[in-house]
Structure 1
Amino acid sequence: MKRYLIIILFILAVAVAGFLYFSKEKVVFQQESSLYKAVPLTTPLFIEAEGLKPIPADNPVVAELSGIPEFSRLLSQVSSIQNIIDTEPQIQKQLGKRKVVLALDFVGKNVLHPVIISNLKSAKEREGLELLIEKLTGISRTSFQKRNYNGYAIIDVADSNGNNKLSFSVAGKLVIISPEVILVEKCIRQLNARGITDNQYFNLVNRTVGNQSEVAWYINHRRFPELWANFLNSKTQKQDNEFGETDRINLKRDVLKIKDYASWSELDLSFYDNRLTLNGITAADDSLNHFLSVFQGQQAVSCNADRMLPKSTSFYVGFSFSDKELFFTNLENYFVHSEAYYDREEKIKKMEQDFRTDSREKLRNLVKDKVVAAITSVPTEAEMGSLFIISGQSRKESRELFEGMLTNYAKRKDIEFESLASSFTSSEEQNYRIYEFPYPRLPGIWLGGAFDFARARFAAFRDELLIFASSKKGLEKYLNDMDSGTSLRTAADYETVRKSAESKANLNVYANINNLYALRHDLFNSEINKGLEKNEAIFRKFNAISWQVVCENNIYFNAVNLGYEPKPKKDVRAKWECRLGAEVAIKPQLVINHNNKAEKEIIVQDVNNQLHLISAGGKIIWSAPVSGKILGEIHQVDYYNNGKLQYLFNTSEKIYLIDRNGTSVANFPIILKSPATNGVNVFDYNNNNSYRYFVACKDKKVYAYNHEGKIISGWEFGKTSGTVTNPVHHFRVSNKDYIVFSDETKVYIQNRRGQTRVNSSAKFSPSANDVTLNAQGLTKIVTTSKNGDVFYLFFDGKFAQKKTEKFSPDHQFKVDDINGDGKPEFVFVDEDRLVVFDEGGDKLFEEEFDNDLHGINLYAFTATKKMIGVTDPDENEIFLFDSTGKQYDGFPLSGNSEFSIGKLTNGGSLSLVVGDEDGSLFCYELE
C-alpha cells in the first residue's frame, strides 16, 4: 500500500466521479444486475455512494484535509472533471442519481487496488463514458483495445508505451472499472458465482442503511484485518513473561487474529464542523464464534470510564454489561472455540495453582458491571504506563476476596503476605494500601486481546474500584490525580468526542491521537510514517477518536466519532508530560544533578508558589512551598564547597537556599530588610565558591550579602534614583570588575565597593530591559531606551546610539550575534510583533501574531547559530525562529510560558521544556 487509507479513498472517489459523469437515456439495456453482485467476496472494504455529489469543500474538516498535497490534487481533479463535463455536450450532466460502489481488493502480493462498479442505462451513456475516459487520460478512443472475457468485452486503455492505464467492461447493465485488469476479470467471474448478496449477515446490515446517508461503508470483518496488516509494522519484538516464556509480538501478524470479531458492518459517514462520524450496525453470530457475540443478551450500560480514568489517559477500552453471569459464560464459550484456548487454559491453570482457588470464579466475583484498561503514558523508556480497572461490588467484600487470593499465593511461595503490601498517602491526605500482584498479564489472559497491552503489577482499592497499574509510581500518580479531581472528563481533547458519544454502551474505545502519535514508528510501517510525518501539522488536529458498540435486541449498533480541533491543546511531539496541578509561573530551568551528572533535572515554580524539582524523565522528585513568586533566575551554588549543589533564589520577602532534597540550608531563608524588586544574582569573584549575593529592594537600596547571608559592610553604594527590576550584574573586562544595574533613570556602572567606576556620557531613560555585556567588536554594555533606541555604553565613558524604529516603553529586547557574522543583531518584541535588525538598523525580518507575546529568549544551537523563542500565552503556543525568520520544523508547539532548551541526558537530543495552560509541564524532543 503506497499511501495511507484516507488519502487512497479520497483519490479513488475522484476516479468514481470522473468515470461516471454521464446519464443521458437513449437506447436502454434490457438486462439488469445488482451492483453488489459484482463485488468480490474477498474485498475487505467497499463504499457505496448515493450518487456523485461534490465534496463539501466549505466544511472545516475538508478544508483542513485540503492542506494535504494528495487531497489538494483531488480537489483539482474534481474541478478538472467538472470542467470537461460542462464543456463537452456529448457527456451527460445528470450527476448524483446513480449509486456507485468503490471496492478495494487484493492483487498480487497482498496489495490493495480499487475497482468501481455502477450502472449504465443506455448505449449513449456508454459513448459518454468512453469520451470522458479519453479526455481524462489523453488516450484516443481509437486506440482502446477490446477483448472477450467470460462472455463480456473488456476494454484496455493503454498509453503509447503499452502501459495499461485502466480497464473497463460493460457487463449487462453494470460498468466495472479498475486500473488493474485482474480486478475487472474477478468482478466478471463473480457475476456467475455466489456473492455477498447470498450472505445473510451482509443482507442484515445492508437493510439498515440510513435514508439520508450519502456514503455507506461496508466492512467484511473476515478480510478486514488483511487490509490493516498492510499498514502495520512487521518487526517482531520479544518480551519475557511471568510464566518463563518469551512472547513474540508482531503487529502485522497479530492483527490477523481479529478476523473472528464479527461478520459484516455497515457505517454511514457524516461531516460536521468539528468531527467526522460513522454510524451503523454490525452483524455477529455466536454460532460462528464471533467475538462481538459475547455481548449477546446484554443491555447497554453507562461505562463512566471518563470518571474513573485520569486526565493523562491516551487510550482506553472498556466492556460494560447488564448481565455479568451471561457475559462471562459467553466469554468462556468464545475462548473454548478459539485458537487461543489451550494457551489461555495453561496460563490460568498456573495462576490457579498459586492462588489455590478457581481464579476465574474469584475474578468474576470482583466485577459488578464493567472492566476498563487504559494507556496513561506513552513510553519514553521501555514500557508505557497502563491501568486495568475493575468496577466492584463493594470495597469491603472485594478487598477480602482479593487479599484472600494474595494470602494463598504468599503461602504457596513461602513468603510473608505483608511483603506484598505497602502504604501510600495521596497528596489529598487519603490513605491507601498498595499490593504487588504476581501476574501482570492477567488482563489479556482473562479478557482477551483487547486488554493485552495492560500490565497488572500493582493494585489498590479506591471506592468501589480495584485498580491495577503497570508500576507502583504509576498507581500512586493515578491515586493522586483522582483524589485531586483531574479525571479524563476534564481533558480538552476528550471533550471533542464526549459530547457526541452515546451515554450507554457495551464496548467503549477512546484514543487521544495526539498522545499516541509518539507510537507511530512502533505501530506503522515506513510508508505510512512518511505520510504521517509529512503532514503532521494537519493530522494532529484530528485529536481524538471514540468508538462505541451498543447491543439492543442482539443487534450491535456502532457510533464512531473522530474529533477535529483546529488549534490543538497539545502537540504530538511531547516526549513526556508532568502534571504540576497549576500553571507554570516562571521559566522552567535545566539544572545539574550532582548525584548523576549524566542527566539534567528541571526546576520550576507554579502559580500556587510550589517549587518543583523534576527528573529528566518527567517525574516530580519533590515539591516545596515558598513565600511568593520567585523573582529572576534560580542559581545553583556549592555552598559547602563539597561538590553538592543547592538552589539559591529570592521572592520579594526572602532569599532561599534549598538543597536537592527540597530542604532549606544553613540559616536560610534570609528575611530581606525591604521587599525585593529584582531577582538575586550570585557573584564568585575568585571562583572559590565564596559567594556574594546582590539584590535590589523597594527602599531603593542595593544590598550585598556574603556567603553566609550576612550584609557586607564594604559595599558602600547609597540609593538608586528609581526602581531596579533586573538583576545586578558582575562583568570582568580587562581584569577590572564592574557591578552594573539600571533603573528607569540611568545605568549604574560601579566597582566592587559600590563606587562609580564609569560615568557614562550617555543621557537617556533606560527601558525595563536587562543590560547585556556584548563582546562583538569593542566590548560594551548594551541596553535600550524607553523608545527603543539601542545604546552601546563603553567602559571609557563613551557611548554609541543605534537607531532602529520607535517602540513602546513596554518593548522587550535581546542582543547577540544570531547569524554568526561576528556582529550583534537586535531582537525586539513589542506587543504582538517580533522584529529583528542588524547592527546598522536594517530590518532582517518581522513577524506579527494574533496576540501580545510574552518573553523573548535566545538559544545557541551551534557556535554560530542561535534561535529566537517567543510565547503567545493566549493561544497556548510557542515559536522558534532563526535569523531569517524561518520557523523551526514542527513549530508552533503547545505551551504558555517561557521555555528552556538543552540536553537532558549526555549524548541525547535537544529537549525543550515549557509550561502548558492546563497546569502541566511538557518536554519536547527537537530533531
Structure 2
Amino acid sequence: MRLLCFSLLLTTIFGCSKSNKSHSNLLDLVPKNTALIIKTSNLESLNNSINNSDFLQRISKTNTYKSLLEKLEPLSNIKPSNNILICFSEDENASLHYSVITKYTKNLFLTDSLPNYIEETLTYNNKSIIKSTINKNTIYSTIIDSTFFASSSKTIVADAHSNINTDLELEKIHKTSDSDKTLSMIIKPKTGFISSFWVEDALNLDTFSEYIAIDVELNQNDIYFNGITKANDSSESLINIFKHTTPQINQIQKITPSNSDGFMSFTFDDFEIFNTNLSKFNRKDSIVNNTSLFNDVIEVGVIYEGKNSALILNSTDIISTKDALLSELNITDTYREISIFNFSNPTLFARTFNPLVNFNNANLYCVLDDFFVFADNVEMLQNIIANYQNKTTLSYTSAFKDIKEKLSDASSLFQVTDASSLKSILNKNIKSTNNFKLNNYKTSAIQFIYDTNFAHVNGIIKKNKSKASINSISEELNIKLDTDILNTPQFVKNHITKQKEIVVQDINNNLYLISNKGKILWKKQLQGSVLGKIEQIDIYKNGRLQLAFATPHRVYVLDRNGKEVKPFSLKFNDEITQPLAVFDYDNRKKYRLLVTQSEHILMYDTKGKTVNGFTFKKANGNIISQPKHFRIGSKDYIALKTKNKLYILDRLGKTRVKPKQSHIYSKQPIFLFNNTFTTTTDTGDLISIDSKGNVSSRNLNLSENHFITTTSKTLVTQTENKLSIKNKTTELDFGDYSKSKLFYINNKIYISTTDLQSHKTYLFDSQSKLLPNFPVYGNSSIELDNIDKDKNLEFVTIGDSNAIILYQIN
C-alpha cells in the first residue's frame, strides 16, 4: 500500500471528446487533468523499496500521508503482472482522485477472501462499472479493450470508455522512461499538484515547465532520479530562459561555506541571450541598469544562510568586471586583507534575475579571485571569506563529493540544499508541522541541463554518514522484508557490476535479491525452502551468472531477473534431502548438478538431462552431508558419506579410494585438509583419510554437538562455548552458538560465530584474536566479503525477525 502513496512522498522530495477508437496502450486511458503519473514494471519491488527507504519512511509519519494511505487502501488488493500506471488528478471541487491502469490478467483483483467486502454492478451509458467497497473505502473499476481501469471516482471510470488521450507531448515524454528503474514519474507542473522544488519562494513550479519525466531509483539511504523536462511555449515557461545558451561548469560550491544552508547556481555562455529570454518570460524590457556588470559573467549564484543571502557573480574576465565596478570602490571594511566595498545599487540583482533571485538588499561586496560576492551584512561576507581562505567550502566536504558523483559538472540550473533547506521545501508542499528529523541528509541536489528544446534533470537525496574511524563497525543497511526470514542471507556476485548482492528467503518461501544499496530487486515465490547455500553458474558460458539451488522437490536455475532458465526448474516427486552440489571439474563451465535423495544420487547437466555416465546410484543408507568435489593433483574425487560409510568416488561414480577403517560419522561436512579427506565422528573425533585409503583418528575433545570447518591448512572446531583455531582455543560466554564459518579473503582468514541467545556476532582472525569492536548485534551466522568498490569488508546477518543488517568493517 505504501507504493500508492508514493506520489505524495515524491512531492515532498522536490518540494509534494467521444471517440470510437480502441485504447491501444495504457497511456490512452490517462484521465484528463491528470497531474501526476507513476509507472512501474514491478509493483512488489517498488512497495518493498518504499518500505525500506529511510527518507520516505520519515515523511510517511505526516497526517497528510496517513490520510492518503487510508484512502488508497482498496488498491492494495490489485496484483498486476505487467506495467501499471497510477494517475492522480483533482476534480472541479479540488478533491484528489486516483486511477489505476494496467493490462487485465487473471487474478488481477482478487476479492473472494476479503472481509467486509461489498460489490455492486452499476450501468452508465450502457457500460458496466463494478463498485467495490472495502472497509468503507470505495473503488470503481471496468475493463476497456483488455485493460483494467479503476478509480476512486465513478465519473472518471465512466468517462474512460469514451475518452482517449490525445496529448502527443505526453506520449513523447513517456517514451523516455526507463523500465529498469524502481519507477518512473511524469509530472505536470502547471496543475499545481506539486508546489516547489526551490528554496526561493518566487520560483513557482507551475510556471517552470509543461512536463517533467523522471526515472527514480530508491535505495535505503538515497534516492536518485534523472529524466527530462520540456515546455513548448518558449516564453511562458521558466526552463526556456536557457534556450540558445550553453550550460557552464558550476563553480559556486567552491565559495559556498560548508556551514551554509546551500546554494542555487544558474549559468549561460552569453548573458545577452539569457537576459533577452528572461525578459520575455517576465514580459519586460531587456534593458537593465548597469548591464555591463554582467557582460563577462557566466554564472550567477545565491548562497543561503538562515534568513540571509549572498549573491555571487562568476566572471571570465576579472579586469572587465572590476572596471564595471569602478564607481563602487568605497571601502567600508577589511577582513583578512580582503577589502569590503559599499554597493550603491542593492536592488539590481532582483530586478535583473527575477524570479531566480529575490535578493534586493545587496549593499556590500568583495572580490575573491574570479568571484564577486554581494551581501547585505558584513558578517556573512566575513564567513564566506574565511571559509574560502581556509578551504572549508562545500566543495571540500565529503557529503558534496558523494553527491557530485551522480551529477553533471555543467548545468543550467543547479540547487544544493542542506537538511534545514530540504525541510523547508518539504513544508512548502505538504504544509506539515512534523519534525522530519533529516539531520543526516546534509547535502541534496537537483540540476537542469538545457539541451535543444528540452532539459535533462538529475537529482539526489542522500543520507550522509559520518566518517568512520579505523576498525569501527558501521551499520550500512537495515532492510525489512514482508515477513520473517527463513535462512541466513548470503552474498552473490552481480556479473554486470562485479560487486556483490544479497539473496535471502522468508518463511513464505519468497526468495529476494537485494542490491548492496538496499534496493530489493525482485522477489520470487519458490516451492519450498532453499537447501543449503545457493551456487552461481554460467550456464551459457557468456559471463552472465545464474543462481542454482534445490528445494525439497525442485532444482532451480534463476537468471539475474529472477526468471527460471529453461528447462529448469526440475520437479521431483521424492524429497531432495541435501543441498544441490555443483561441480565444474575442469573449470570449463561444463557443470554437473548432483541431487541427493536419501541414499540416492542423481547427476544432471545444464540441459536438465541425466548424465548417463555417472554410475553411482545408491549408498548403503541415507546420505548425511552434501556431496563434495575435490582435486588432488590431476585426479578428481567426489566425497559423500552415510552414517557408517564414507565414499570417495571418481567422476564416473566408481570407487576411487576405499577407506581401510569404518566409523560412525557426524553430519559435519567433508573437507580437504592437509591433502586428506577430513570429517568427524559422532563422538567428535577427527577422521582423516589419505588418497590410499589410510585412516587416522584424533581425539579433539569435541562434544556430540560440534562444528568443524577448514581450509587446506587451517582447522577450526567449535564445541559448546569453545572455539579452536589452529589449536588455539578461545572460551566464549556460555550460549547457543551458530555454526562457525571460515572466510578466506585477500590472503587472510576470518572465523565467525553468533551467540543466538545473546544476539552477539563474533569475528576472529587466524590467530584466534577477536577483531576490534566485536561482538556486534546479530541473530544468525554471517556472510563476509568485500561487496563494493571500496577496500572495506562487509558482512550480513539477520537483525529483527523480518530484517537483515549489513555491516561494514572500516
TM-score, scaled relative to structure 2 = 0.50
RCO (CA 8 Å, sep 6+): is it higher in 1 or 2? 2
TM-score, scaled relative to structure 1 = 0.44
Q: Rg bigger for which structure? A: 1
